[in-house]
Amino acid sequence: MKKIIAKTFIFLIFFSFTNLQSKEFCNPEGVSVNIPEIAKTEDSNGDKGDVFVYFDQSLSMQGYVKDQPGQKNLYVNVIDDLQQIAENVGSTTYYHAFGKSIKPLKERDIAKVIKPSFYDCKGATTACNNQESKIELPFKMAKANPDGTYIIVTDLFLADKQLVGGTLKQLTKPLKSILKKGKSIGIIGVMSSFNGTIYDIPIKNGGTMKYTEANMRPYYIIVIGDQKNINRIKSNLEEQHFTDPEDEYKFALITSSPILQNLNVNQSISENNIAKINKADAFKFEYVDEVLPIYQFNTEKKFNKKFKIKIENIIVPGSSGVSEYTLEESLWSSPKVKCRKIDWRKAKFEKISGVNANENELTLSLFKNVSEKKRLKLFLGMRYFYFVNIYAEKPGTASEKDFEEWSVRSSDAEKYANDNPVKFKTLNLTKIIKILNAVSNDTFEKTLIASFAIDFNLVK
């Protein structure tokens, strides 16, 4: 009887020891988390910097400052407050007009921007500043002094010749430099009343035509600088001017850093990222070395849960987001429940789980490629350790879709104008957004979003 009791006691001790060992975290050699430095949206020193405001002085802008009966004028109202908005984000504000060239404006002259005479020219046509809209000029100024905040007010009505060849390079080169320095480009589109002439509408047989029948037309406030200042200007406009349900406005944030954070930094990954995983046998969740979250449990069948991340937790609000995610995966197996690093054997398979995303969630279908019909199999009685890095591979293009309804192509512009629209679209707007997204793509760097591990026993 004593022998039986002794054997039972030894068995219980052994069972408790092995069970304890099965709940201990035991990483295979080579498992580590390298947390990247994510571009911050807030300044650390609190220095506001200077603000540079540029008003498009081309003749087509004149229609925004003339009231249209029955329509809300969101151009005059916004420009009236732009001085105060600029002062909220910077220390000193400098004002300019741009068209064929850039001309400084004295502060007392800002009131003239909302008067028709600001867009008139009584001299020789060749000397007038209202015949062109060289938007690349303010961009060049932003490149020269990237510490400032730049606000550009324009109708963004750009001809084909401005979006090709050398002229296009004059536009994209400074923008690429700006994005590489960690700055962003915000585009706020505002639908406003319009009472004037739209010039330079291309026609198929060559040349251009005018249009005078529009009573509404969008204009754009382009802000170049820190994301926090862009968002502050957007918030000020929303609070002060975009207050009625019928107000139409759009926003896009073009940035080389659309990633809000790496989820490992603040231990933002939890057991809730895998639904009901905490109900598994011998479940344990913990951060190893304060950065690597590990799920540990026992299971009797194929593990096919989903790991989900809310997009709002990883993407900068208002940005074009991410269009492609990739996984970097590793899988080890061990024939022993008791943990010894030398017992881990690394599998040769690279594609273990699947990844996809929509506008709300990023989802990993865990062990999607594990199947009896495929080469990758899991065997009963084995212990497995799965480690994955989730990367943002390519920036998104959501802003193209958002602004599409306000855009008309050059090839369609003549027919569109001949249909007598009362709300006139912006020439080549989608093409412009695509160009900005391409610049963003050129400066984007593959970014690690999250890392986690799963350590489980596939019990018999």
CA distance 281 to 272: 16
pLDDT digits (tens, 9 = 90+) for 80-123: 888 889 988 888 999 999 999 999 999 888 899 999 999 998 76
State both tokens at 239: 């609070």
- Return the pLDDT at 341: 65
CA-to-CA dists, residue 59 to 56, 99, 156, 176, angstroms? 9, 9, 13, 29
SS3 126: helix
CA distance 289 to 398: 37
**Rounded mean pLDDT of the chain?**
87
User: Can you say whether the dihedral through the CA atoms of 19, 24, 29, 31 is positive or negative?
Assistant: positive
Pairing of strands 407-408, 426-427: parallel
pLDDT digits (tens, 9 = 90+) for 200-213: 999 998 899 999 99
- Return the pLDDT at 25: 67
CA distance 329 to 345: 14
CA distance 422 to 442: 38
State both tokens at 362: 């990023």
Stretches in the chain below the pLDDT threshold 50: 1-23, 40-46
SS3 166: helix
All structural domains of the chain with their residue ranges: 25-39+261-395+447-458, 51-257+397-443
Helices 165-180 & 429-443 angle (0-180, nearest 10): 50
Entry field: residues in the chain: 460
DSSP state of 425: P
CB 174 within 8 A of CB 164: no
State both tokens at 273: 């990222």
State both tokens at 75: 């151009």
